[in-house]
Amino acid sequence: MIGKLIIATILTGIITGVFITFYELLIIFLTYFIFMGNPVETIPTLPIWYIYFVPTVAIFLVNYISSKDSHIKEYGVNEIAESVYENRMILKIKTLFLKVLTSALSLSTGYMVGTEGPSASIGAMIAYQIHRLFHFPKMFIKMMISVGASAGVAAIFVSPLTGMAFAIENIAYQFIKQYVSYLILASVIAFAITLNFLEPITFFHSSGRHIDNDYIIATLFFIPFITLFIYLYLFLKTKLLYFIDIEIFKTFHRYRNHIFALIGGGVIGTILLIEPHAAFSGKEIVMKLINNENPIPIFLIFLIIFLRIVGTTVAIYANAVGGLFLPLMSIGALTGYGFGELMKIYLFPVEPFYFAAIGASIFVGVIMRLPLTAVILAMETTFDYNVVIATGISVGVVQYLSTLYFDIKAHSNKL
């Protein structure tokens, strides 16, 4: 049995790595095809009606496809595992391809959703099919799904440790002693494949093991600063839009998806016109803007933050298919970068890129309730103690402050 599990795990890692590479490259291809080139460069040259037309038609199409197969929509990995285990859900190959298609349509047309949710689900679906192929006992379903989810996240982030932490914090608690080796094996294999084709998120401006007291002191100011932005995000998502969804559409529930699709298309189109960098998953912002050594205007930073907060929350209610990890990471990164710029001007000579890494990890850790993943993400992207220590301290404090006013539910790919 152990030999079969090892073979199944290796197959899961290989197939997931190939599938995730195809998924990411499909998103890039569709983005450039739909916007006739790099959207940041081409959007100013395209007709205004086209910029609104693209996300509106895309989200209506996504909603239509999702109505034909409800399993396409985002679910927490734990929810998938429980549903499959209790025979409430069957993961079909057709669902796998439709999920890739709807997610790629959402992401390539500007919706602020992430790739990690679909990637975890893609890995889970692949692992489930391998579970069936090998005729494993039913008791192994949850284990195989957690292995697949771990491989999917490790592949899309080109980051094996983050993938493992993600799976452990979601559904692998009960398997950690018995099956952690399989999580590691699948994650590393999937990571090794995608490393040849995709680029990992890495913050270059880190100094390693040297501890700078200025950053420890600055972190005390950063905690209330980033808490305000987390409050803004949570207020918009859990109070304002939730009220609109529950109360306003109570009478028009039948047309709820159509109305939110129109709202989503209008909001995303407007954001694309105002600032294209504020749209899409956010990976480009984290990788290019945050690691860019040229100063970023503070006004532009906070404009993008606001637009991304609005766009991410609207995308959720419009039923765009995708996760939240990358969008939240980008919001946190830009919040941290903006804070670092303000600190450098008025108080301490700190490096904004440090707080970009800290902010990215905090936003993910607090809103998705993944504190371990947040700390590991900070470590794996920077290998810098200043970032890891600040993240560890901040994520606990900010999570407590956030729960004073908001009910942050347990993590799912789509909150």
157 and 27 within one domain: yes
252 and 186 within one domain: no
Residue 410 lies in a domain: no
147 and 61 within one domain: yes
Residue 200 lies in a domain: no
Per-residue pLDDT at 91: 67
Per-residue pLDDT at 411: 45
Residue 201 lies in a domain: no
254 and 370 within one domain: yes
The domain total for the chain is 2
241 and 105 within one domain: no
Per-residue pLDDT at 257: 79
Which of the listed residues 194, 227, 261 is the one where a domain comes to its end?
194
Which of the listed residues 159, 194, 229 is the one where a domain comes to its end?
194
Distance, CA of 45 to CA of 16 (rounded, Å): 38
| Residues 104/25, Cβ–Cβ less than 8 Å | no
**What's the angle, vertex CA 55, arms to CA 49 and CA 59, rounded to 5?**
140
Per-residue pLDDT at 140: 81
- The CATH number assigned to the domain holding 288 equals 1.10.3080.10
Residue 98 lies in a domain: yes
DSSP, residue by residue, 66-116: HHH-GGGS---HHHHHHHHHTTS----HHHHHHHHHHHHHHHHTT---BSH
236 and 124 within one domain: no
Specify the amino acid at residue 356. Answer: A
95 and 163 within one domain: yes
Per-residue pLDDT at 252: 65
374 and 321 within one domain: yes
342 and 219 within one domain: yes
Which of the listed residues 165, 194, 223 is the one where a domain comes to its end?
194
Distance, CA of 301 to CA of 199 (rounded, Å): 24
Q: Which residues of the chain fall below pLDDT 50?
A: 411-415
Domain that holds residue 338: 213-403
140 and 8 within one domain: yes
CA distances to 37, 54, 60, 235, 271 from 40, rounded to whole Å, are: 9, 15, 24, 29, 12
Residue 47 lies in a domain: yes
| Residues 395/371, Cβ–Cβ less than 8 Å | yes
Per-residue pLDDT at 72: 77
23 CB-near residues (< 8 Å, 6+ apart): 100, 103, 104, 115, 118, 119, 122, 156
Residue 262 lies in a domain: yes
Residue 208 lies in a domain: no
DSSP, residue by residue, 152-184: HHHHHTT-HHHHHHHHHHHT-GGGHHHHHHHHH
Residue 338 lies in a domain: yes
218 and 177 within one domain: no
Q: N- to C-terminal Cα distance for the chain?
A: 37
74 and 219 within one domain: no
